[in-house]
Every structure is written in C-alpha cells, then in structure tokens.
C-alpha cells in the first residue's frame, strides 16, 4: 500500500461518517473494507505504545478540534480528553464541560500529573490532591505545594516573598527559622510588622507596629497617622498569671508584675530603680508606706543631693543653703556655759509643714551641746545650739541637717 496523506485526501461521502476505508492499490475497483473509527483506534493501540510525530509551524503533531461536550450529568459529561483506567468512573465531572480529565482508581498513590525538565520534576499533582512545584523562575528553585486540608505548603528552604517591582524584585520574606518558628527576615535589612485597626491609605491609619529603628532598638506599640486615631496599649495576661521583664535569660526575670498587681524584683536585693546622678525617677508617690526591710542601707539622700555652708562673723549669723540636706559649719566664737544661740537657715526647699532634723556631725566636745530646730516657716527654719557644760566653749561645730517633707492633712 502506497503512502496516503490523510490531510490532503478528498473524502468519499458515500461511506459512513466516522469510518475508515482500507484496501490495496490494486483493489481500487474492488469492494474495500470499512472499519468503524473506534475499531481502527483499538487496532492502532495494539501496534505500539509510542506516538511519534513532529510539530511544524502552525501544525501541531496532534490536535483535538471538536466541540467539548456539556450539559449532561456529572457522570455523562465526560472530558474531551480523558485518561481513566478500565473499570474506573467518575460522578464528579463539571456539567459545563472539561478539556482534559484524569481519573485514577481508588487507592492510587502516585502522581496524576508530573511535568519535568530533563528528569527534574517542576510541577506535579499527587493522587492525594497535593500540588507540588519546583519552579525556579517563580519560587527560587524551592518546593511549593497545596495540602488536602487547604494549607499552602512550602519547603523548609523556601519563603513567601512579596515585592513592589514584580516577581523578580521581592523585598519582604516570610520564612521558617526552625520547627514551629516563623520569621520575617531579609538578610541584614531591618524589618517591620504592622497590624492595622483601620487603614484608609498609606497616610491615614491606626495600627500596632513592631519595628527596628535606625539606632538598633526595637519599638513596639500603637501608631497613628493622618485621620487615624491613636490608642492606648495594654499588656494583658489571663487571670492568675504574671508579666515578667527579663534580660539575657528568659528563665531569670529581672522584674515581675504578679497576679495581684504587685511590682516585684525577680531576685531579692539585686536590682535598682534609677541611678545616682542620672536616669533618676522624678517623684515616687505612695499611698501608705515606704518600708526598708533590709539589714544594710536605709532611706535617705544620696550623693549630689546635699551641700555645705559656713557661718561668718559669729554663731548667730544666718546662712543660706537651698538643699534637701547638708552640713553647716558654725563660727568658732565662744558660747558661754549653759547658754544658747540661734541662727536662721534660709532654704527654699523647706515648707512650713516640713520637719527639719539637725544633729552635731563634728568639731564639738563630746556630750557638750544640745541642738535642734525651734521654728519652721516656708523657706527657712531656726536652728538653736545650747552649751550644756559649766564652761565656755569656742568651737567651730559642724552640724548636719535633713529636710523631711510633711503636710498638715
């Protein structure tokens, strides 16, 4: 039989539609054999498992140009092209029609589709329904899948990346750092995470922000811009639980706000509030008590809070020192036996209701004087010293004083 070109042949309409005519060249006048199309296809299938044809310009090796069927039931609306083992059927086809359908038998654990490049799988659909991809152009050569429970699956070396200039310029990456650990990171570039309450546009919003600042510190809190509303921030834990502040080791908290609302040090007698001469809290208000229960230290004034002043002329000369505490060096003039002398300490920190304590620090003969404050007014107090001996004393007595704030009600 000579080669026959089906594409250029003129059909003979005297034969049944969908049939093939077979016969040798010498049988041109003889009655040829007529076979149904399905019969011929079944015969071709027994000849070879390989289809070999070359494509050409505007001429694919194989084309299905018929009309896709639609409008039947979910069982009868078969795909235009269907791959389905014998004995397997589906009752789930779209009644609007399907171009290519693959229906595996129950229990099939292989791949319904597996697209490869030189032996490397690029995209596949497993029989379980999981979609996996390894598309270097879009996903950097990492695996991408879709789980049967609706989850998006990405290999451990992959990331969800988003950019402002298309697929090739991502700048924001969501990655897996370790088991059960999610990370927002992009090499050495500082990252920011926003949770919005309201968003109108990039200039008008209310949001919670976690952000690394240029000074290498982390800020956490509510932010507002434009027409957005600024909100307070609460740290809240379930009833009966505490809030801890730690440094370096989460298992060794420095400070704790316990379930009763008390602010406690993580370790007894270890941490301070403020520092001498710098980073000091301004005022501490207490409704009941400030108690020192330690065996060392005490309640009082620290370095930098005090000052010194000296009398001139005589022991009754007034002095000025605007400090909460300090020392006063008295003049060395003689003080007669069993006599007293008074002088005024001008001090802007003294209120009329305050208590000013004064004592002898040095420069005096032991057990020879009695000293105290005999009057207090806004901005001053009167200090009196008494010579309790039977002889005159001419000593430059050094006094210490401290102002204790007090009120009348």
Q: Are residues 345 and 389 in the same domain?
A: yes
92 shares a domain with 39: no
Residues 81 and 164 in one domain: no
pLDDT of residue 135: 44
Mark whether 314 and 391 lie in a shared domain: yes
The verdict on residue 284 lying in a domain is no
pTM: 0.56
In this structure, is residue 36 part of a structural domain? yes
The verdict on residue 53 lying in a domain is: no
User: Quick one: pLDDT at residue 6?
Assistant: 47
pLDDT, residue 166, reads 65
* pLDDT for res 48: 57
C-beta of residue 128 within 8 angstroms of C-beta of residue 148 = yes
Residue 150 lies in a domain: yes
In a domain, 134, yes or no: yes
Q: What is the pLDDT of residues 105-154, one digit of tens each?
A: 988 989 999 888 898 887 888 888 777 665 443 444 456 666 667 677 77
Number of domains in the chain: 5
Rama region for 314: left / alpha / beta (φ>0; ψ in -120 to 50; rest): beta
Domain boundary, last residue among 46, 64, 83: 46
Chunked in runs of 10, what are the mean pLDDT values of the chain (409 residues)? 47 49 47 51 59 81 87 93 90 93 91 89 81 51 62 78 77 91 91 95 96 85 96 93 84 90 91 85 88 84 92 97 98 97 98 98 97 98 98 98 94
Does residue 381 share a domain with residue 324?
A: yes
Q: Is residue 52 part of a domain?
A: no
Q: Both tokens of residue 14?
A: 């005297």
Where does residue 326 rank: exposed (0-12), middle (13-18), buried (19+ CB within 10 A)?
buried
Give pLDDT, residue 139: 46
pLDDT at position 377:
98
Give the pLDDT confidence score for residue 213 in this predicted structure: 83
221 and 161 within one domain? no
- Spatial CB neighbours of 123, under 8 Å, sequence gap ≥ 6: 113, 114, 115, 131, 132, 133, 134, 135
- The answer on 174 and 121 residing in a single domain is yes
75: which 2 tokens?
A: 């069982």
In a domain, 222, yes or no: yes
Query: Is the domain of 103 the same as that of 121?
Result: no
Query: With contact defined as beta carbons under 8 Å apart, do 271 and 255 qualify?
Result: yes
Q: What is the pLDDT of residue 121?
A: 82
Last residue of a domain, one of 210, 230, 247: 247
Domain assignment of residue 329, yes or no: yes
Would you state the pLDDT for residue 38? 53
* 397 exposure class (CB count in 10 Å sphere: 0-12, 13-18, 19+): buried
Range of the domain at 392: 307-404
CA distance linking residue 327 with residue 330, whole number of Å: 10
């Amino acid at each position: 039989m000579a080669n026959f070109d089906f594409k250029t042949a003129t059909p003979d309409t005297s034969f049944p539609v969908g049939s093939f005519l077979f016969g040798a060249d010498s049988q041109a006048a003889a009655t040829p054999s007529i076979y149904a199309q399905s019969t011929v296809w079944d015969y071709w299938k027994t000849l070879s498992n390989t289809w070999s044809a070359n494509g050409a310009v505007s001429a694919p090796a194989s084309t299905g140009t018929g009309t896709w069927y639609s409008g039947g039931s979910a069982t009868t609306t078969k795909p235009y092209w269907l791959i389905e083992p014998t004995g397997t059927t589906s009752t789930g086809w779209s009644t609007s029609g399907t171009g290519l359908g693959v229906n595996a038998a129950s229990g099939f654990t292989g791949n319904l589709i597996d697209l490869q490049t030189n032996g490397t799988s690029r995209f596949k659909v497993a029989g379980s329904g999981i979609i996996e991809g390894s598309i270097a152009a879009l996903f950097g050569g990492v695996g991408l899948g879709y789980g049967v429970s609706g989850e998006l699956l990405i290999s451990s070396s992959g990331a969800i990346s988003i950019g402002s200039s298309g697929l090739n310029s991502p700048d924001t990456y969501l990655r897996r750092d370790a088991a059960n650990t999610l990370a927002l990171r992009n090499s050495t570039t500082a990252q920011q995470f926003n949770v919005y309450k309201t968003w109108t546009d990039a200039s008008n919003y209310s949001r919670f922000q976690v952000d690394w600042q240029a000074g290498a510190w982390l800020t956490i809190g509510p932010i507002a811009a434009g027409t957005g509303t600024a909100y307070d921030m609460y740290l809240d834990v379930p009833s009966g639980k505490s809030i801890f502040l730690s440094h370096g080791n989460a298992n060794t908290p420095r400070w704790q706000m316990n379930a009763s609302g008390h602010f406690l040090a993580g370790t007894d007698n270890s941490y301070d509030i403020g520092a001498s001469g710098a980073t000091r809290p301004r005022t501490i208000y207490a409704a009941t008590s400030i108690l020192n229960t330690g065996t060392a230290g005490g309640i009082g004034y620290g370095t930098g809070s005090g000052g010194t002043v000296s009398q001139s002329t005589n022991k009754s000369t007034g002095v000025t020192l605007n400090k909460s505490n300090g020392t006063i060096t008295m003049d060395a003039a003689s003080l007669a036996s069993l006599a007293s002398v008074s002088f005024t300490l001008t001090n802007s920190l003294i209120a009329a209701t305050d208590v000013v304590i004064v004592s002898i620090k040095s420069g005096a003969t032991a057990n020879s004087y009695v000293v105290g404050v005999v009057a207090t007014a806004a901005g001053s107090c009167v200090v009196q010293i008494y010579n309790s001996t039977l002889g005159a004393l001419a000593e430059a007595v050094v006094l210490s004083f401290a102002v204790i704030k007090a009120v009348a009600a």
